[in-house]
Structure 1
Amino acid sequence: MRFATLGLTAATAMSFSTSTIAEVDVSASAGVASSYLFRGKDLGNGNGAIFGDITGTVGGAYASVWASSGDANGSEYDLIAGYALDAGPVSLNAGVVNYVYPSISGSDSFGDLSEVFVEVGFEMVTFSYWDNVAGDTDYEYYSLSAELGAFSAVLGYSDVEDDATYDNEDYSLDYTHLDITYAYNDNLSFTVSKIVDFEKDLNANNELSSDDYDALSTANQTAYDSLSFIDDDLLFVVSYSMPIK
């Protein structure tokens, strides 16, 4: 998902075309990062990550597979499909992404974490909206990003609310993060990230046993981890990626 300031956008996956077959453009890339930074949080608990993707596009439509070793829960791969277009200075991108964690024994179904997203860009500024449409946890994510030369910034807001509850406990979590990235070149980038504000609301009896935790859906495990610990320390990430030709 997404190192440095990146969410899942068509542009990130379609930057390098390796072949064209019957008007289908195929691109791929691979890279490494010093940690798995996603929406202001280090999902790898300080461990580095290896990642890669492959994307096929026909006109504005695209489908992509993104995979990484860096999540604390084990391996991860994401399935993405969407449509992107440009209309003068305005860019539009909409689609769906499914996050899959094959190494989680407690995952109860494929598609436990699925988001729909819409991105609208104007010149150097982009607004993004992401909404989880599967699993028990209801969450939304908003971001406003901007680019200026080699620098880019993302201000993101995550809103998690669980009405289905785990262990009969309602919970909610809101946090805001700021990421600033310097792209040394097309391959190497440096990012600093900070959670600048957060608020969580848990009932008192929120501790789960290991068996109860394993029985949670993937979405609820992720939400529980987020609520149990918020790291608002300054994060620094070095990322290197390159096209596969």
Structure 2
Amino acid sequence: MHNYCKTIGALAAASALVAGNANAEVEYELHTGYTSSYLFRGVELGDDLVEVGVDAAAEWNGLSISGGVWAAAFDQDGTSNDIDSEVDLYTEVGKDFGFATASVGYIYYWNLDNTNGGTDDQEVYFSLSRDLGFATASLTYFWDIIENDGGNEGYSELALSRAFELNQCLTLNVGGNLGYLIEGGDFTALTTKVSLDWGFAEHAKLSPFAAYSIALGESTGSLWNSTENEFVAGSLLSVGF
């Protein structure tokens, strides 16, 4: 259940959409990393997350188009050497209206092995974002298409982020988000994250990070009813071209 079989429809769709525009360029990014725990919207899903992914993005007729795939392996129960795995496929289309940028996206959660009970899931999300000067703010609503027992109960998220350029090679990123269950009428978690982007090469960067999530959920029957405060740390290596 990330934010993102290596030949995916999302990348093919992005390339096809921009093929008719000679001025459009598709930008790609490869990334891999490690995180001490798999933390998803304030819920700890396992330990020792190892991830790899690829993203593509382009502009076409005033629209921003992106897509990608994210694959991960981790220890779901934290007590054995059994490795669980997950692959997420996602795509998004956005447009800048001046006062705000509106986006709509789709995520397919492919849960391999017995991850999340072996049940796949799908979400469509709608988002509004705006640069406020002191920070960039966004509000996103995630609609669970499948609505299985692990459904998100109308999950929404309010986020703030800001980047500080320390020098030509280093950028400090700080941010936080607050989750809310619309149908359950309950907050889920407040998560803050700090990362440092080190551009050690022209198109490559190493990004160590740390995040802390404060559990807020109390809705009976939801994923967040039994969550606890969580701290995670890790690092991400990304290469763009």
Q: Tell me the TM-score normalized by structure 1.
A: 0.67
**Residues of 1 paired with 2:36 and 2:125: CA distance?**
27
- Say if 1:30 and 1:244, in contact at 8 Å, map to a contact too: no
Unaligned runs of 5+ in 1: 9-19, 161-171, 202-222
| Cα 1:180/1:66, change in 2 over 3 Å | same
Q: Which residue of 1 aligns with 2:15?
A: none
Aligned ranges 1:18-167 → 2 under 5 Å: 23-44=25-46, 47-59=47-59, 60-70=64-74, 72=76, 74-88=84-98, 90-104=100-114, 107=118, 112-123=120-131, 124-137=136-149, 138=151, 139-149=153-163, 150-158=173-181
Secondary structure (helix, strand or coil) at the match of 1:179 reads strand
Q: Which residue of 2 aligns with 1:210?
A: none
**Residues of 2 paired with 1:62 and 1:184: CA distance?**
24
Instruction: Give the aligned CA root-mean-square deviation in angstroms.
Output: 3.0
Unaligned runs of 5+ in 2: 5-17, 78-83, 164-172, 199-206
Q: Tell me the TM-score normalized by structure 2.
A: 0.68
**Residues of 2 paired with 1:79 and 1:173: CA distance?**
29
Aligned length: 190
User: What whole-Å deviation, never above 9, does each CA across 1:161-206 have from its counterpart, x for those lacking one?
Assistant: xxxxxxxxxxx795520001122335111111011241205xxxxx
Aligned-pair identity (%): 22
Give 1:71 shift. 6.1
1:51 partner letter: E
User: What whole-Å deviation, never above 9, does each CA across 1:124-174 have from its counterpart, x for those lacking one?
Assistant: 1110110111253452211101124432111112467xxxxxxxxxxx795
| Cα 1:38/1:136, change in 2 over 3 Å | closer
